[in-house]
Structure 1
Amino acid sequence: MSSLGLCKMASSQTGMASENLNIFRLMSWNIDGLDERNIEERTMAACDTIMKLAPDVVFLQEVVPSTNIILKARLSSKYSIYEGNQVSYFTCTLVKKSTECRITKSLVQPFVNSQMGRNLLMVNACYKNIYISLLNTHLESTAPAQAERLAQFQQALGEMQIKDPDRAVIFGGDTNLRDKEIASMGGVPKGIIDLWEACGADPKTKFTWDTTTNDNLDWESGRYKPKIRFDRLYLRPAAGHCTNLSISSFTLIGNDRLPGCRRFPSDHYGIVCDFDILPGEM
């Protein structure tokens, strides 16, 4: 079965955590700590979703010191938390604590020309018999920063390509990328899979930042309300003889209003991907 195999589903909701040891689940979500309104309720809701869905790995962006305290209080008993920074706003990668998990390396690689303190948070692990590299990021924001954003994207893609071929590599987060920007560089390199596209490019799960359906952001720039696929995930499969990952579902989360504030957990919808674990050669 190929890593490009068709997904089993690509809906706007996902079910409870799977107990199947042959499934690997990854979540990515910009939880918008920069918006101080209802921040505790929204962050607690994000934690509730993580606890309910029990992903093996979580990529978070726009964590701030106050929300990091909540994350640690709610999740550190079940997850090891790796931080891209500890000031301003930053990324965090959560890896489920398990006897099946061994972290071999974690490091932060700066984007040296970033004007926004952005970086690439990298964690190497052996998890569920998969040798895996996890690359979490928040690329440069805003349309005028296109050149720097593309340079950061290409740096991350380069890191994916140079990883040991016996490792599966997952890269993503809030990339702030526009489709036309990726087209301008000729698409992603051969051997790297865009997971939304691999799941059939369902329009219902395309736009993770959608001001037509999510009103957390007070959009006041005229009648036009943008919707963009800012949040993206990419896979570079391991070499064919190794334990590998094959994408099986791509879903969006965080698209229900909270009962208290009547807002969404974030102005971004999160992504949850399930992968089948393909055993390697004995």
Structure 2
Amino acid sequence: MTSEEGFESQVLGQEALPQYLEDQAQGLSRLSFRICSEGRWVQAPDNPADAELNATLARLRVVTYNVWFCEYRQKMRAAAIFRILEASEADVICLQEVTPKFLGWLRQEPFVQEHFALSDAVGTTLQGSKLAYGVLLLLRRSSLRGGELRLWHLPSRMNRSLLVADLPLAQARLRLATVHLESDSRASRIAQLRQILQHLEKGDVTVLAGDMNFADGAPEEVLLRQAEFRDCTEKSGCTMPRSDADGRPARLDRVLAASGAGAWHLVPTRVELLGTEPIDRGEAASMPASSPAAARRGSSPSSEATDPEMPALIPLLPGEPALSRGPSDHYGVLCDFELVQRKEHIPAGADPRRPTASQAQKARLDPL
């Protein structure tokens, strides 16, 4: 542009911020699934055929498990959890309270290296200065592949985040998410859920699984129902034998689903609790503290430490039932779904519930 005085000038627009700076401003980290190749965990390759593979999925098995960060008998407990996860034959595994030590053991498991892609293989997403832990997502590579992986940081005093995988389907996307909501504040949980629902609202078919930290009848349930999320594990029974809040059994771990208005919807068909059996047969005379409130009840020494720095044990109160020495202070929750195509999207003569030939050949799931 030339002025009346003959000077040339140019109006420069504001340059767009680099993508990573925009992501940081939104509390977003973009990740990639990692797979084990020749003993190394590398980025999973993109493949145009991933959507076709995912579209052959007729049944989906989801497991969520809070594995308990506590160092009490940690390696023994982790080994028991690994056997449970392997036997579950899950397509999707959502884990909470994963520590760097637990992740290190997990990624060395042969069944994980052979069959699963991990959202994190080195612990970069595990947050906390005094205690680093977080959420982890595992996908069975023969069932689900590709897509985007994002970690949304939530308003929290406990470094809580929402981990979301968007996977391509034919005419739709499958959104898988896991979260560990705030433990000690309902106001924080509601604020977190409002943000979570914003991040998930565009999903065609969505599964949200994790430790929700609210019991039956809580206001958080109303918020999720209003967003048309169905609690698919409402019949599971308690998932934490003794909650940190009041020491009573509670149902804190859930698998929820929303189908939207796309070509597909999810039909829950089965729910099962995992890890309810003790990992040894001794009498459970005491349990470790898993919260500051429990620690105030007193402690007693033990000769049963199998890990260094084992925390003090909490003696049972008079009349309090003995607890089994399970692999975690939570139970895992397994939920089976059928992925069903809506009638208006079904090709002429096709059966929306019939597994494809490739699935029948896999024969991974028991008949429901």
- TM-score class, shorter-chain normalisation, is 0.7 to 0.9
Can you list the C-alpha shifts for 1:116-166, whole angstroms capped at 9, x where unaligned? 100101111137997311111011112xx1111111022222323233xxx
Can you list the C-alpha shifts for 1:149-186, whole angstroms capped at 9, x where unaligned? 111022222323233xxx21011201112334326856
Which of 138, 146, 161 aligns to 2:201? It is: 161
CA RMSD of aligned residues (A): 2.6
Q: Aligned equivalents of 1:266 and 1:186: distance in 2?
A: 29
Contact 1:101 1:126 in 2 (8 A): no
Quickly say closer, same or farther: Cα 1:150–1:190, change in 2 above 3 A.
closer
Quickly say closer, same or farther: Cα 1:63–1:50, change in 2 above 3 A.
same
The answer to which structure has the higher strand fraction is: 1
3-state SS in 2 of match to 1:141 = coil
3-state SS in 1 of match to 2:261 = coil
Which of 233, 236, 249 aligns to 2:255? It is: 233
Cα deviation, residue 76, structure 1: 2.7
**Percent of aligned positions that are identical:** 25
Which of 125, 130, 154 aligns to 1:85? It is: 125
Which of 43, 64, 78 aligns to 1:43? It is: 78
3-state SS in 1 of match to 2:233 = helix
Contact 1:118 1:140 in 2 (8 A): yes
Aligned match of 2:176: 134
Of the two structures, which has the highest relative contact order with CA contacts closer than 8 Å and spacing of 6 or more? 1
Q: TM-score, normalised by structure 1?
A: 0.76
Q: Aligned equivalents of 2:150 and 2:200: distance in 1?
A: 15
How many residues end up aligned between the 2 structures? 239
Larger Rg belongs to: 2
Quickly say closer, same or farther: Cα 1:184–1:264, change in 2 above 3 A.
closer
Flag structure 1 segments of 5+ consecutive residues without an equivalent: 1-19, 212-216
Flag structure 2 segments of 5+ consecutive residues without an equivalent: 1-55, 283-323, 348-368
Which of 254, 258, 279 aligns to 2:279? It is: 258
Aligned match of 1:274: 336
Contact 2:91 2:144 in 1 (8 A): no
Q: Aligned equivalents of 1:269 and 1:188: distance in 2?
A: 24
Q: How does 1:44-83 map to 2 (within 5 A)?
A: 44-74=79-109, 75-83=112-120
3-state SS in 1 of match to 2:65 = strand
Contact 2:98 2:133 in 1 (8 A): yes
